[in-house]
Structure 1
Amino acid sequence: MVTTKNRRALQITLGVLSAIPALSGGAGVLVGHRALPGPDRSVVEPSLDSEYRVTSAFFLAAAPVIWASIPKVEQAAAPLRVLAAAGFVGGIGRLLSWRTTGRPHPAFIAATVLELVGMPALVLWQEQVRRATA
């Protein structure tokens, strides 16, 4: 029973978290840098807007991978670990940005915590579920 509850809790968590790349990635593709929180997003260099939209497409693409992993989450170690590793590396990139350009908007501070703490926690949780259902 605990295994079933833990598995279900992981599935729900992944479903909720998948909204982040689905919504922010979709918004980034559609409206570019204007999707970002914070002041004065009216002017940006065209190459930066282009790069932001392409990066957003990769973020958007993560959502269906997560959705496909949810039904058999105990068997989805490989795709979830790849996405978690990418998120973790992204968190390191955010730290580098913070150090070189200054403190980001609070939404991006929260994203950094999710990427650097939440992604490893999700990998460990999925592994726990995998072992318990094996």
Structure 2
Amino acid sequence: MKAFQVVLVLLGLFVAGTGLLEVVLGPSVLLPGSPRPEPTLDSNYRFFAAMWLAIGVALLSVVPRVREATTVLRFVSAAVFVGGLARIASWLAVGQPHALMLVLLAIELIVPPVLVLWQRRLAA
């Protein structure tokens, strides 16, 4: 159980930290090529960065009650997984993104199911 909690803390801090950076500094802080989006795109990006921040906080909230927090962990995992599917939709609609986005896509499609299965085993 401790290993799972450590993984959740690391993921939660990473997600919350990058979300906070993106809310405060906008897309130029973490996106490859430091794009300068027009105001509407910047606004939308920062909004979704706040959702990313909230996902990180939700992951951290699971840490002290790993066995009981099934609903929260599954919801967060589903949100991240669906985000990965949205990246695929973007790729199909407008073309292949930067290689960093492909790495994130792989993480978004692999890590959530692993977390759900791992937590299920711990809760049993």
The TM-score normalised by the length of structure 2 is 0.93
- Judging changes above 3 Å, is the alpha-carbon distance between structure 1 residues 40 and 61 closer, same or farther for their aligned structure 2 residues? closer
Structure 1 partner of 2:56: 63
Q: Which runs of 5+ in 1 are unaligned?
A: 1-6
Kindly tell me the number of residue pairs found equivalent between the two proteins: 124
Partners of 1:30 and 1:95 lie apart in 2 by 27
Of the structure 1 ranges 45-54 and 109-118, higher mean CA displacement relative to structure 2 is found in: 109-118
* Match status 1:26 vs 2:20: yes
RMSD (CA atoms): 1.3
Equivalent runs, 1:1-134 vs 2, <5 Å = 7-42=1-36, 44-131=37-124
Distance 2:32 2:57 in 1: 28
How many Å separate the matches in 2 of 1:66 and 1:30? 21
**Worse overlay, 74-83 or 30-39:** 30-39
Code of the aligned partner of 1:37: L
Q: What residue identity is the alignment partner of 1:23?
A: G
SS state at 1:103 partner: coil
Give CA deviations for 1:61-96 in whole Å, capped at 9, x if unaligned.
Answer: 112211111011011101010000000100000011
Moved over 2 A (4+): none
Amino acid at match of 1:47: T
Task: State, as a whole percentage, how many aligned pairs show the same letter.
Answer: 35
